[in-house]
């Protein structure tokens, strides 16, 4: 590996370690379930205060999470669980 390539790799690796840039896997518990409360609190409060789950109907949460999930960096695979959690905690 050239020295330039080495520094490029090192810079990328350090980016991944910056606080606040945690990956989706940091919200997955040891038993494999998703910690939706933590995910919602961390990712959906970056641009505005958190909305109360009871503010919206089950149907509305589907469209909200599909609209804002991408902006919050929530991978598509994780959105159904978050939607179910928001609907269930009404
Ligand atoms: C990148 C910034 C950003 C992130 C991250 C974000 N939102 Fe929002 N959200 C907005 C903005 C801007 C509005 C203001 C309403 C608009 O855009 O018309 C908003 C409004 C809302 C509203 C009320 C207005 C509406 O559209 O009905 C809900 C509910 C909402 N966001 C849910 C969420 C959820 C759930 C998440 C996490 C998955 C999230 N947001 C993450 C930017 C963001």
Could you give the angle at the alpha carbon of 10 between the alpha carbons of 7 and 12, nearest 5°? Answer: 110
Q: How far apart, in Å, are the Cα atoms of 78 and each of 1, 9, 63?
A: 36, 28, 15
> Over the stretch 14-68, which tens digit does the pLDDT of each residue have?
444 444 557 899 999 999 999 999 999 999 999 999 999 999 999 999 999 999 9
Output the pLDDT for position 85.
Answer: 97
Whole-number Å distance, alpha carbon 69 to ligand 1 midpoint, is 9
Give the Cβ contact number of residue 45 at 10 Å: 12
The C-alpha atoms of residue 46 and residue 41 are separated, in whole angstroms, by 9
Q: What are phi and psi of 28, to 5 degrees?
A: -95, 125
Joined together, the tokens standing for residue 7 give 């520094």
Residue spans per domain, the chain: 20-88
φ and ψ at 25, to 5 degrees? -65, -20
In a mutational test of the pocket of ligand 1, which residue from 68, 72, 74 has the highest number of ligand atoms less than 8 Å from its CB? Answer: 68
pTM above 0.75, yes or no: yes
CA–centroid distance, residue 48 to ligand 1 (Å): 7
Here the tokens at position 47 are: 């641009």
Q: Mind listing the pLDDT tens digit for each residue in 57-87?
A: 999 999 999 999 999 999 999 999 999 999 9
């Amino acid at each position: 590996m050239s020295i330039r390539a080495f520094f490029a790799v090192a810079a990328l690796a350090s980016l991944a370690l910056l606080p606040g840039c945690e990956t989706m896997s940091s919200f997955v518990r040891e038993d494999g379930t998703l910690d939706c409360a933590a995910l919602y609190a961390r990712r959906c409060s970056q641009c505005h205060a958190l909305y109360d789950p009871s503010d919206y109907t089950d149907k509305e949460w589907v469209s909200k999470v599909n609209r804002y999930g991408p902006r919050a960096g929530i991978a598509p695979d994780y959105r159904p669980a978050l939607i179910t959690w928001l609907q269930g905690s009404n």
